[in-house]
Chains A and B, each alone.
Chain A
Amino acid sequence: MDPLDRRLLEAIQQGLPLTARPYAAIAAQLGMREGEVIERLERLRRQGLIKRLGVVVRHRPLGYSANAMIVLDVPDRLVAQIGGHISRFSFVSLCYRRPRCGEQWPYNLYCMIHGKSRGRVLQQLEQLSESCGLGTFPREVLFSRRCFKQRGALYRASLVRGHADG
């Protein structure tokens, strides 16, 4: 990533211009050629710095009002296999391995389900549990009641938004 890449990523982080030739509009703003913007964006996407280009939805307007973080204590030798299996379900929106934090918090595998109701989320969790063989592992389900802060303004210098899911 060079300084021009960085300027380009900064220029589009709030959104792509809603105009027929958006990459030409960005190019004009940065004093570049349209073709160069396109090549650089292609490369940044290929390199994985841009995970995805497209729409970022808000959950609630689409009716996804239930949000559960499910945490599991899975034997270390099985965690990669089970994490891989869990992540293949379309209703799972995130799946991470994290360190255990002592007796108070022995969990090492986290996944998130966004659903239209708590009942539906719990059904999906049962489906996940049967299919991935999670039945015997200690687990907890943490529903969220509200989100207090969802940073509207971008953290400009950083470009660190990603999914901002830690």
Chain B
Amino acid sequence: MDDMDRRIIDVLQQGFPICDSPYQQAARELGLTGQELIERLRRLLTDGVLSRFGPLYHAERMGGALLLAALQVPEQRFDEVAGIVNGFPEVAHNYRREHRFNMWFVLASDDPESIVEVIHSIEKNTGLEVWQMPKIKEYYVSLRLKA
């Protein structure tokens, strides 16, 4: 990754044009040609620096549901419980954190009712209580990482 790659990431985290030749338009600001920008994006995707190049959707406005949930998992059962939780396709990601509440995961679905079902299944299959931490309000952040 060189300085130009870092500039591309910084600039294209802020947005991408919607017009007939968007790469060319975005490239101009960076001092590249459209084709050069395309090739660099392809490489950043192949190298895994970028997970995606495209849209981020607003889940709730799309009619879907997201829920943050936490478990207190006894240390000796951690891998077993992680296996159960991660087996549900609704689990979007799952983090181990250093706390008594040591497993934090996000459920995502286009059907809010299926979230309720998954929670019941996790409780039944693990014997642990799922703590639900729904969002009440999101304070907007710009969501940019300096590359």
Q: List A residues 74-126 near B (Cβ within 8 Å).
A: 80, 83-84, 86-87, 90, 92-99, 101, 105, 110, 114
Complex Cα gap A53–B57 (Å): 9
Q: State the total of A-B contacts with C-beta under 8 angstroms.
A: 255
B residues near A98, Cβ cutoff 8 Å: 68, 133-136
Complex Cα gap A130–B143 (Å): 22
A residues near B136, Cβ cutoff 8 Å: 96-99
Q: Which residue numbers of A lie inside 8 Å of B, CB to CB?
A: 1, 9, 12-16, 18-24, 34, 38, 41-42, 45, 47-59, 61-62, 64, 67, 69, 80, 83-84, 86-87, 90, 92-99, 101, 105, 110, 114, 140, 142-151, 155, 157-166
Taking a contact as CB atoms under 8 Å apart, the answer to whether B135 and A166 are in contact is yes
B residues near A105, Cβ cutoff 8 Å: 101, 131
Q: Is B50 an interface residue (CB 8 A)?
A: yes
Complex Cα gap A54–B1 (Å): 18
Taking a contact as CB atoms under 8 Å apart, the answer to whether B141 and A93 are in contact is yes
Nearest B residue to A40 by beta-carbon distance? B18
CB < 8 Å neighbour of A158 from B41, B60, B109: B109
Nearest A residue to B54 by beta-carbon distance? A15
User: Given A20-B35, A45-B18, are A165 and B41 neighbors across the interface (CB < 8 Å)?
Assistant: no
- For the complex of A and B, list the 7 residue pairs with the smallest distance between their C-beta atoms, beginning with the closest: A166-B68, A158-B110, A160-B64, A162-B59, A87-B139, A164-B92, A83-B139
Complex Cα gap A42–B19 (Å): 9
Size band of the interface chain B makes with A:
35 or more
Nearest A residue to B103 by beta-carbon distance? A148
Complex Cα gap A41–B137 (Å): 26
Taking a contact as CB atoms under 8 Å apart, the answer to whether B137 and A61 are in contact is no
B90-124 near A? 1/0 per residue, CB < 8 Å? 11111111110100111111110000000000000
Complex Cα gap A50–B58 (Å): 6
Kindly name the residue among A38, A80, A146, A164 whose own CB sees the greatest number of chain B CB atoms within 10 A.
Answer: A164
Q: Is B21 an interface residue (CB 8 A)?
A: yes
Taking a contact as CB atoms under 8 Å apart, the answer to whether A50 and B56 are in contact is yes
